[in-house]
Amino acid sequence: MSNVTTPLSDLEIANKATMQPIGDIAKAAGIPEDALELYGKYKAKIDVTQLKNQTADAKVVLVTAINPTPAGEGKSTVTVGLADALHQLNQKVVVALREPSLGPVMGIKGGATGGGYAQVVPMDEINLHFTGDLHAITTANNALAALIDNHIHRGNELNIDPRRILWKRVLDMNDRSLRNVIVGLGGPAQGVPREDGFDITVASEIMAIFCLATDYVDLKKRLGEIVIGYTYEREPVLVRDLKVEGALTLLLKDAFKPNLVQTLEGTPAIIHGGPFANIAHGCNSVQATQTARKLADVVVTEAGFGADLGAEKFMDIKAVQAGFKPNAVVIVATARALKMHGGVDKKELKVANPEAIAAGMQNLAKHVETVRAFGVEPIVALNRFITDTQEELDVILNWGTENGVKIALTNVWEQGGAGGLELAQAVLDVLATDNHFKPIYDLEDSVENKVRAIVQKVYGGADVTFAETAKKQLADIERFGWSNLPICMAKTQYSLTDQPKLLGRPEGFTITVREVIPKLGAKFLVCLTGDIMTMPGLPKEPAALRMDIDENGNAVGLF
Amino acid sequence: MSNVTTPLSDLEIANKATMQPIGDIAKAAGIPEDALELYGKYKAKIDVTQLKNQTADAKVVLVTAINPTPAGEGKSTVTVGLADALHQLNQKVVVALREPSLGPVMGIKGGATGGGYAQVVPMDEINLHFTGDLHAITTANNALAALIDNHIHRGNELNIDPRRILWKRVLDMNDRSLRNVIVGLGGPAQGVPREDGFDITVASEIMAIFCLATDYVDLKKRLGEIVIGYTYEREPVLVRDLKVEGALTLLLKDAFKPNLVQTLEGTPAIIHGGPFANIAHGCNSVQATQTARKLADVVVTEAGFGADLGAEKFMDIKAVQAGFKPNAVVIVATARALKMHGGVDKKELKVANPEAIAAGMQNLAKHVETVRAFGVEPIVALNRFITDTQEELDVILNWGTENGVKIALTNVWEQGGAGGLELAQAVLDVLATDNHFKPIYDLEDSVENKVRAIVQKVYGGADVTFAETAKKQLADIERFGWSNLPICMAKTQYSLTDQPKLLGRPEGFTITVREVIPKLGAKFLVCLTGDIMTMPGLPKEPAALRMDIDENGNAVGLF
């Protein structure tokens, strides 16, 4: 990225770092020794029941971004760098992040632990199995699937229609061959044949529940409320009808405790949970955020994809369900990505093109408006690349001055926290102001009106239409009394519209909702638009081909 | 079991125990602090590269059993109790055990961590996710499956015949609906349709490799040698042809380190790996056994099922590949189980029946002969139940006296190590004698002759026949130069024959080998007889229905 001569890889930088024993990080963060469960020397789980007397009152800074492009924005890198910068300014700060999914690690280069000198460590372990949370979620998800099929095989007392089962199996793997499968073949002793499919683990409703539950009691209650499918009479069947919500909760017992690690600069980092940002809400767990809020004065956290998806759901779903009010929002942008929003092809990114950037600014402008619509004043982090020209950067900085938007140039990939001091000071300035946060819609409003509010106020579109299937599902949702749940939009991340190729700031468009899927455990209604991929595939040359281990058991070729 | 008035459950006994911090257990066992990686307060992984100067020279005691019956034998319980008894006799002892599979835990009552006062703890954590080893193996197995299907989808440069893929996907779950599936449905973007199936994780060849590899270099080499299937020209395709053995090894990096826990009496226990005992060799990892041998003077370990399967493979596969000679073998038997071998139905077990026991003694007699055929003098552990009458026990004890077989009465379930002192002393007596161990066959012999040696010397049968499919496979194995591998018999555990209902000591029978499957990574040839189940199902009332968690996150209803 920013380095010119043979830059070190993220793994090489991470491996050169001297980590502090995680007990020292915990002590500095005020975590009592009894609350710490070590996982090796540099990872630990936090037993939050031991933090009972501490109040979750830190201010919350959300890092989001413009609509992502293949140029890369560096949202996680800025999130980590901002936390390190606040640390350098002597703030009591904790960064809260999502934990990476292993599937994409095997597929494409690029981790979820930041980059350059703004990383969380040990990066290899965090990107591989970490403390096993995703494996526990995979297990709970697939135990439920096995219990459903066993119920049908053993007489189907609940009268479940095998053609109307919503619950899918999952693997934390990029495996396109499992998207559509037939299970139960081989005769009467091998179960009941039916169509099924596998999602990637982060798409499981159990991951969403895991990330929104406030404690074990809430976790178990939510698991019990998952709609697994419908009877032949089209009545919903819940997990609690199967009486297995206790077992599923038990399988998540240890995973549910947030994980403590550190940044390269020794800032405490809590990394826990990581749901999809399209069919789920895309933020780390409420446990992680609230634990961080007990320990710090300022919590820096992130949400998936751009502000239209991640920030909207962070505000309308996570903040509302967890009962806190975000205090500041950082929107990450790069000259390269804005150039693509201005119509430039990926191959032409290295050519200076201030005019394209000027055209692409409208994407950023929309996200600034969106954050303000939530009552929060945004700060733009302009994440610098070595190829950016001063003329290009000036287009963006001048736009900020002209439009009254604070834009801070950051260079945390190359400099760590020192490259984010201007951004950190801008954030502190916003944190010193009053909090006027409000969600974008009222939960008591109709589903149609809630979706319309998102389309108009967040995407800048004209209206929403519901396909026939979605209309039928809405009628059922009304009938079952589930209408007052929040909305979880499943939309392409690349565009403000439901068409991935429409970059920049389209206007006058209509969003089509194909399906409305109830996620009663997560407590939201997923509105599907366009084609949403819930099981990725591997590329022609998977990253696995480069991955290896040396004779002492050290990771090689991981990023 | 032995208690009369409302006995405590295994979980209740385990939860009442005061565990020592695992660091104290490690220190007493002579594990340097640098070699210890904590997983919570009572579990740790051992970095064996830090034990380089220690020699693996402890004597090895194998605990095996008569052919298992529904009456239960308590092999793991005796293994733990014997170690505790040796500990009480001031021996420097470490017990090495297999780690439990989660699938059966969800299905049927009964863990794999011993019982009563002879248990390893923390039993709930060991029986649930433990330190994540099985999840890492599941991930490596399924990464390979995804990489194979991706290779075919992306042009199939290796010319793999999708109808001749041997590699199956796995889950650590009892899920019969996944035994036979069709994957890759949905059109050209969703992979290539083909028949596939899921095994339970412990049946993966990666689990067998994990348990036989001596270090990371050997692990990677073995993973590269897995035969994943055949080309359209019927030539074998190996993992190293795909160039992903490095990535698979990396996925096993941390899992490959043995796990340290403790017994209820504070004896160090190393629990690591747990392959199936039919299509694999059924013993804990070589890493675990050899690490235990570095730390102790006596290592007590177990093998799966009865002596015909578990002990035979322990001797002919594990001991030979790891290069050690077992010093003593304990055969666990109970009056109840011998009664079933004498023809009594499970429902009639509570009725005293010395005559049936006398008839059933022949099953034990055969296993005594078998162990002697390996050049080792066996000790019988007669595991006492409260319902046993003195007359019944006398039948067994007198048989021992008359036939020159040492039989020690044990009561470790109720008394812990104190209930196994006679057994421990008998073991020490054998350990004081010279070691005359020798495998039952010569690796250079033909496959047919090696199988014949097992059938005749271990099962007490007349001969072996190979079905047509097996004969064709043998010709291929000869052609590819794989004939000098050891044999891994996949046979019913219930009988010395390949017919599960033939209990006692059948004679004059022939074993039919249906298929011969090369496992080049594990370095053995699996000979399939009868119907071998590699993916269990759930019962009508799964144990999951009783499992729960309290509001503080403690396990409830686990056993």
Q: For residue A6, what pLDDT is reported?
A: 62
Indicate the average pLDDT of chain A. 95
- The minimal CB distance from B545 to the residues A135, A186, A244 is found for A244
User: What average pLDDT does the segment A79-105 reach?
Assistant: 96
Is the CB of A138 less than 8 angstroms away from the CB of B142? no
User: What average pLDDT does the segment A219-240 reach?
Assistant: 98
Q: For residue B550, what pLDDT is reported?
A: 87
Rg, C-alpha atoms of chain A: 23
Residue A116 is given by DSSP the state T
Is the CB of B545 less than 8 angstroms away from the CB of A179? no
CB contact residues (below 8 A), chain A span 126-145, against chain B: 128-129, 131-132, 135-136, 138-139, 142-143, 145
For residue range B5-47, list pLDDT tens digits in order. 567 888 888 888 899 999 999 999 999 999 999 999 999 999 9
Residue A111 pLDDT class (50, 70, 90 cuts): low
- Residue B178 · residue B197 · CB < 8 Å: yes
Q: Where are the alpha helices (DSSP H) in B213-302?
A: 216-224, 239-242, 245-251, 286-295
Residue B20 is given by DSSP the state P
Distance from CA of B434 to the nearest CA of A (A): 37
Residue A10: both structure tokens together? 């993220």
- Residue B279 · residue B65 · CB < 8 Å: no
Q: Which residues of B501-539 are buried (b: 16+ CB within 10 A; e: fewer)?
A: eebbbbeebebebbbbbbbbbbbbbbbbbbebbbbbbbe
Q: Of these residues, A75, A220, A294, A339, which one is catalytic? A: A75
Q: Which residues have C-beta within 8 Å of that of residue A481, sequence separation ≥ 6?
A: none
Q: Which residues have C-beta within 8 Å of that of residue B390, sequence separation ≥ 6?
A: none
Distances (CA, A) of A368 to A64, A329, A330, A362, A404: 11, 10, 10, 10, 11
Residue A74 annotated as part of some ligand binding site? yes
Q: For residue A2, what pLDDT is reported?
A: 44
The Cα–Cα gap between A139 and A252 comes to 9
The Cα–Cα gap between B50 and A49 comes to 36
First to last CA, chain B: 13
Give CA torsion, residues B79, B83, B85, B90, to 10 deg: 170
Inter-chain Cβ pairs, chain A and chain B, closer than 8 A? 237
Is the CB of A548 less than 8 angstroms away from the CB of B129? no
Q: Of these residues, B130, B167, B305, B314, which one is catalytic? A: B305
CB contact residues (below 8 A), chain A span 148-177, against chain B: 149-150, 153-154, 169, 171-177
φ/ψ of B44, rounded to 5, equals -150, 155
Reply yes or no on whether the pLDDT at A349 is more than 80.
yes
Q: Which residues have C-beta within 8 Å of that of residue B27, sequence separation ≥ 6?
A: B33
From B260, B399, B318, select the one nearest B62 (Cα to Cα). Answer: B318
Whether B189 has its CB under 8 Å from any CB of chain A: the answer is yes
Distance from CA of A531 to the nearest CA of B (A): 13
Q: Which residues of B85-98 are buried (b: 16+ CB within 10 A; e: fewer)?
A: bbbbbebbbbbbbb
The Cα–Cα gap between A278 and A529 comes to 10
Q: Of these residues, B374, B385, B399, B509, which one is catalytic? A: B385
- Find chain B residues with C-beta within 8 A of A182's C-beta: 181-182, 185
First to last CA, chain A: 13
A16 in catalytic set: no
Residue B472 annotated as part of some ligand binding site? no
Residue B109 pLDDT class (50, 70, 90 cuts): low
Residue B153: both structure tokens together? 């989808």
Residue B26 annotated as part of some ligand binding site? no
For residue range A377-389, list pLDDT tens digits in order. 999 999 998 889 9
B98 in catalytic set: yes
Q: Which of left, alpha, beta for A505 (phi over 0: left; psi -120 to 50: alpha)?
A: beta
From A268, A197, A219, select the one nearest A20 (Cα to Cα). Answer: A268
Q: For residue B52, what pLDDT is reported?
A: 82
CB contact residues (below 8 A), chain B span 215-254, against chain A: 215-217, 220, 243-244, 246-247, 249-251, 253-254
The Cα–Cα gap between A169 and A200 comes to 9
Indicate the average pLDDT of chain B. 95
For residue range A325-347, list pLDDT tens digits in order. 999 999 999 999 999 999 999 99
φ/ψ of A160, rounded to 5, equals -70, 130
Is the CB of B549 less than 8 angstroms away from the CB of A216? yes
φ/ψ of A250, rounded to 5, equals -60, -40
Q: Of these residues, B45, B59, B75, B293, which one is catalytic? A: B75
Q: Give A330's strand partners.
A: A63, A379
- Find chain B residues with C-beta within 8 A of A222's C-beta: none
Q: Give B516's strand partners.
A: B527
For A156, the closest chain B residue by CA position comes to: B540
Give CA torsion, residues A333, A334, A335, A336, to 10 deg: -120
CB contact residues (below 8 A), chain A span 74-103, against chain B: 102
B418 in catalytic set: no
A305 in catalytic set: yes
Residue A108 pLDDT class (50, 70, 90 cuts): confident
Residue A39 is given by DSSP the state B
A222 in catalytic set: no
Is the CB of A177 less than 8 angstroms away from the CB of B153? yes
Whether B49 has its CB under 8 Å from any CB of chain A: the answer is yes
Q: Tell me, what amino acid is at A360?
A: G
User: What average pLDDT does the segment A510-537 reach?
Assistant: 96
Residue B110 pLDDT class (50, 70, 90 cuts): low
- Residue A312 · residue A370 · CB < 8 Å: yes
Reply yes or no on whether the pLDDT at A3 is more than 60.
no
Reply yes or no on whether the pLDDT at A530 is more than 80.
yes
- The minimal CB distance from B216 to the residues A180, A217, A549 is found for A549
CB contact residues (below 8 A), chain A span 288-317, against chain B: none
- Residue A64 · residue A307 · CB < 8 Å: yes
Reply yes or no on whether the pLDDT at B202 is more than 80.
yes
Which of B177, B179, B253, B545 is best to mutate for the A interface (most A CBs within 10 A)? Answer: B177
Residue B1 pLDDT class (50, 70, 90 cuts): very low
Residue B434 is given by DSSP the state P
Q: Which residues have C-beta within 8 Å of that of residue B24, sequence separation ≥ 6?
A: none
Is the CB of B549 less than 8 angstroms away from the CB of A190? no
Residue B2 pLDDT class (50, 70, 90 cuts): very low
CB contact residues (below 8 A), chain A span 540-559, against chain B: 540, 542, 544-545, 547-553, 555-558
Rg, C-alpha atoms of chain B: 23
- Residue B92 · residue B298 · CB < 8 Å: yes
B399 in catalytic set: no
Helices (H) and strands (E) in chain B, counts: 20, 26
Reply yes or no on whether the pLDDT at A194 is more than 90.
yes
- The minimal CB distance from B180 to the residues A38, A147, A190 is found for A190
Whether B23 has its CB under 8 Å from any CB of chain A: the answer is no
Is the CB of A146 less than 8 angstroms away from the CB of B549? no
Q: Where are the alpha helices (DSSP H) in A268-319?
A: 286-295, 312-313
The Cα–Cα gap between B292 and B58 comes to 8
- Find chain A residues with C-beta within 8 A of B179's C-beta: 185-186, 190-191
B277 in catalytic set: yes
The Cα–Cα gap between B212 and B194 comes to 32
Q: Of these residues, B413, B509, B524, B559, which one is catalytic? A: B413
User: What average pLDDT does the segment A37-65 reach?
Assistant: 94
Residue A182: both structure tokens together? 């037939």
Residue A14 pLDDT class (50, 70, 90 cuts): confident
Reply yes or no on whether the pLDDT at B559 is more than 80.
no
Q: Tell me, what amino acid is at A486?
A: P
Q: For residue A5, what pLDDT is reported?
A: 57
Whether A186 has its CB under 8 Å from any CB of chain B: the answer is yes
- Residue B315 · residue B333 · CB < 8 Å: no
- Find chain A residues with C-beta within 8 A of B256's C-beta: 553
CB neighbour class for A464 (10 Å; exposed up to 12, middle 13-18, buried from 19): buried
C-alpha B306: how far from chain center: 10
Q: For residue B111, what pLDDT is reported?
A: 66
Q: Give B260's strand partners.
A: B44, B270
Strand segments, DSSP code E, in B25-69 are 36-38, 44-46, 59-65
The Cα–Cα gap between A416 and A265 comes to 8
